[in-house]
Amino acid sequence: MTETMDGTAASDRITENWLKLARGAAIAMVVWAIVTHITARVIIPPVLVIGLIFAAFIPFLRDGRRRVALGLAVFSFLALAGNVPALVDELTHLSSAPAFILTLLSLLGAVTAIVGGIGAFRSRSEPPTRRVVSVAAAVFVVLAATSIGVAANTDSDVAQAGDVEILAEKVKFNPEDITVSVGGGIWIDNKDGIRHTFTIEGEGVDLEIPALKAKRLDLDLAAGTYDVICGVPGHENMTGTLVVEN
Ligand SMILES: [Cu+2]
């Protein structure tokens, strides 16, 4: 073999190793999209689209396709950037463990896809695959365990006699039309693996309900009709109407 051919073979191998890292990250993102849907029990269109696009990249991240790898890096960056509010929201709420862990997986997967995609495009030196995977796995295990611990130490409230009971399920309040007597209380049972809030803007009502927990609140509102929202980013359709009556 000539020197040139050796050089080409070496650079091909470097590219393939970077592509392997990018492919692993894309697979992690597909796993994230699937598990997110199983946990949520509803189709979440943006997650579905992101998962399908990552899945579509996987078969092409081989055979020296460096431009496809760059495309993966750009797509991963846009997907991350477009979801900053939701990412920050989930990652700052350790007590909602299922959502926290899935969000963490998506963040680590997307960052690794950016690193792998750019690395494959440049193909300068061997990828630090072992280091990247070790660091990502260590961060994932430590933070996931912390979140599970915090969630286990977050108590649910018990409903009190006379409380109006509400479910937060599949990113909806059930019922959506709620009637409470003046001075009455509400008890909300969150059946979802993601957090919700029961919020009435301008009235000082902002009850946080961690994933899979129940919380109660005595309402101190005058008789009237109020709009209820969930303040979690992306839950704009999770609304209700609260009638407080004498
Ligand atoms: Cu919500």
Q: Taking the domains of the chain in order of start, what are their residue ranges?
A: 3-152, 164-245
Mean pLDDT of the chain: 93
CA of 75 to the centre of ligand 1 (A): 27
CA of residue 174 to ligand 1 center, whole Å? 12
The three-point CA angle 67-11-118 to 5° equals: 35
243: its two tokens: 């009638």
Q: What pLDDT, on the 0 to 100 scale, is given for residue 185?
A: 94
What is the 225 CA–ligand 1 centroid distance (Å)?
Answer: 21
pLDDT at 43 over 90: no
The predicted pLDDT at position 1 comes to 44
Helix orientation angle between 84-91 and 97-122, rounded to the nearest 10 degrees: 130
Task: Look up the CATH number of domain 164-245.
Answer: 2.60.40.420
- pTM recorded for the entire structure: 0.88
Residue 3 has pLDDT above 60, yes or no: no
Query: What's the 127 CA to ligand 1 centre distance in angstroms?
Result: 40
Mean pLDDT of 86-94: 93
What pLDDT is recorded for position 53? 98
Q: How far apart are CA 172 and CA 78, in angstroms?
A: 28
Report the separation in Å between the CA atom of 236 and the middle of ligand 1, taken as the mean of its atom positions: 8
pLDDT bucket at 93, cuts 50 / 70 / 90: very high
Q: How far is CA 168 from CA 40, 197, 212, 229, in A?
A: 12, 9, 9, 12
pLDDT of residue 5: 58
